[in-house]
Structure 1
């Protein structure tokens, strides 16, 4: 039987302390070659410190990092097959786009012709050939981002680290650039690790996500897996929008469970967790897009009447906060499929809510 190949990047029990403060705590991750992997979390969660350890700018207090089978302990940044793209892009303002891209190649053992060919290949890759002789201040923010990316890729690293790469861009440009990044990564095959606090950015870009909190990894998985099946209340709250209510298990019948949810003023049917028992207390969560908002009472499980307390119109959809019989507030998204406001619920309207048992997220922490 053939042995499975080792992961391209292996992080084993890595911790990092600054005095008495532990920024990263016992992190272990395996990342495959050619992945776009996202480290997602809020400020101070340890994601950038972990990235800096991968780059060699910080040494772990404990643990090991292996890249393509090589132990990175004690290997300085300039000897690692790794390049880091900073949030500020760090372009030289007095140099042209072409010179910025080729700057890192000066110390490589390349002929002038090879350097020119490499720079031209990078210009073509990021579609900036017409702007080769411009200075950074003469191009847009999105183009500066691509210059920084081309410079990082010019040295043909095995691993590219991107620290909040799209934070300086406006919303529309950020959305466009996400797809450009994915396309460039697919064409080069370089492994990307992206640090971001933006959940939408992580879910769009990454093949897999590691959600971090207080120096620890809370959950790792594909974006859809982590979103639909969060392992903890923190992950459920951080990734997307969710309303959570305390609940008590009333009964378990095969794959389904009946729960008392006082804040909803109603019992709820949900897909049971393994080992669930009557009397157990846990948290029930509902994503706003999983709840149907209706004028008339529907048939089926989990039907609750409520009253519109707040609403916000976003154009393509609207967000409602519904007061429930038990006094709780439930957020609900409704897609605006028709023009005009006559068919949309308004403030203080009585409405019916329903959701499938499989849409209820049960959390034990």
Structure 2
């Protein structure tokens, strides 16, 4: 059974002079897990990654890997490898010599080293490119060379700093699944740092969302998207529209809210700790709202007028003005083929918006 506390980060902080880059972070990562550190620039995710690698020492707190305290252990003695965003390949070397470079200080025979390189080439499907120089292969292939070099030493922990940032969108999407497949075959624990929420949601078993050096929520992709713990996570993961609301009470296991911008009451899924009379935020994911030109039979319904729309092919974005003047954004999938037929509504059309109580996110923070 995999160790649920394979990597333990306990109360770790890091200061650079008066600036605190990481604030009292506590996390546990299971063996064989893909764990993502997700956040914007300057949130502390790369500093935390560098502390795991041993390039920085924590100002406070402890890091344990496979039961061993990493305090004072230099990078070259840790069972950890870091794959940099730039890949850091040697352009004058071939693919196979780049992979072999990471093994130069390993105690192994020349034959064993060659076998390990062949194993890694096969793992990342680059055997036909073994003799090519690094500059003679594509960006996606260079990424796989860097991954093979990192895995060649059989690290217990692999740290990936924005591993797909240099790739174009289509190649990035393809490589995400390749990374997942390679990780599953090797069983190595991956820690991925990224600012790309879609990348984190696709790759990771669990995500830690960071802001200003702090972890704001830890959970599976489904948990952080569908059940955000606070306004920051709700707005950072995906797209939302928010409204001020007041809790009127509970009814049938649901919260009843007064939403001034809607001019009506709203039913939402219950949230523990929320009290009657409390001021809260109602958050709605754009794709959870249904737009129609006839009033639907639904728990929550509000009327509005289409102010703007944008056609993206697979879906359209509608900006709806409510009678209160508030603006609601809605994503609707274009399931039908055609020009006008693909649109649910047009500019200046009067429409109805509806959503289920389970789609209504109530945030007290």
TM-score using structure 1 length: 0.97
Report whether the alignment pairs 1:312 with 2:289: no
Contact 1:264 1:327 in 2 (8 A): no
- d(CA) in 2 for partners of 1:357, 1:164: 37
Residue 211 of structure 1 is matched in structure 2 by 209
In structure 2, how many angstroms separate the alpha carbons of the residues matched to 1:70 and 1:274?
Answer: 38
Gaps of 5+ in 2: none
1:266 and 1:326 in contact (8 A); partners too: no
Q: Does 1:350 align with 2:350?
A: yes
Residues 9-51 of structure 1 deviation map (CA, whole Å, 9 limit, x = unaligned) = 0000000000000000000000000000000000000000000
CA offsets, 1:206-248, max 9 Å, x none?
0000000000000000000110000000000001101111101
SS across alignment from 2:261: helix
Once residues 44 and 276 of structure 1 are traced to their aligned partners in structure 2, the CA distance between those partners, rounded to angstroms, is 32
Equivalent position SS for 1:346: coil
1:158 has 2:156 as partner: yes
Structure 2: distance between partners of 1:6 and 1:296: 51
Q: In the alignment, what sits opposite 1:109?
A: 107
Q: How is 1:244-323 mapped onto 2 (pairs within 5 angstroms)?
A: 244-323=242-321
- Change in Cα spacing, 1:328 to 1:215, as seen in structure 2 (3 Å) is same
Deviation per residue, 1:68-126 (Å, 9 max, x gap): 00000000000000000000000001000011000010110011100000000000000
CA contact (8 A) 2:62 2:70 kept: yes
Q: Structure 2-normalised TM-score?
A: 0.97
Matches within 5 A, 1:238-249: 238-249=236-247
Hey, what's the Cα distance between the residues in 2 that align with 1:199 and 1:6? 24
Distance 1:242 1:89 in 2: 35
SS of the counterpart of 1:337?
Answer: coil
Instruction: Identify the residue that residue 363 of structure 1 maps to in structure 2.
Output: 363
**Alignment match, 2:183:** 185
CA contact (8 A) 2:258 2:265 kept: yes
**Deviation, structure 1 residue 305:** 1.0
Instruction: Work out the CA distance in 2 between the residues paired with 1:80 and 1:5.
Output: 18
Q: CA RMSD in A?
A: 1.3
Q: Number of aligned residue pairs: give it.
A: 363
Distance in 2, matches of 1:212 and 1:309, equals 35
- 1:299: Cα distance to partner? 1.0
SS in 2 for 1:326: coil
Tell me, yes or no, if structure 1 residue 224 matches structure 2 residue 222. Answer: yes
Q: Which moved more, 1:90-99 or 1:307-316?
A: 307-316
Is the contact made by 1:265 and 1:327 (CA closer than 8 Å) also made in structure 2? no
8 Å contact kept, 1:252–1:276: no
Q: Distance in 2 between matches of 1:250 and 1:236?
A: 23
Does residue 197 (structure 1) correspond to residue 200 (structure 2)? The answer is no
Matching residue of 2:26:
28
- Return 5+ residue gaps in structure 1 as ranges: none
Are the equivalent residues in 1 in contact too, given 2:99–2:152 (CA < 8 A)?
A: yes
1:300 to partner: Cα distance: 2.1
Aligned mates of 2:82, 2:3 — CA distance in 1 = 26
Question: Is the contact made by 2:4 and 2:31 (CA closer than 8 Å) also made in structure 1?
Answer: no
Supply the distance in 2 between the matched residues of 1:115 and 1:275 (Cα, whole angstroms).
58
Aligned to 1:334: 332
Kept in 2, the 8 Å contact 1:252–1:277? The answer is: no
3-state DSSP class of the match of 2:102? helix
- SS of the residue aligned with 1:296? coil
Name the SS of the counterpart of 2:340 in structure 1.
Answer: coil
Instruction: Report the more deviating stretch, 50-59 or 350-359.
Output: 350-359
Cα deviation for residue 272 of structure 1 reads 2.2
Distance in 2 (CA, whole Å) between partners of 1:276 and 1:10 is 32
Q: Secondary structure at the match of 1:264?
A: coil
More displaced 10-residue stretch of structure 1: 279-288 or 251-260: 251-260
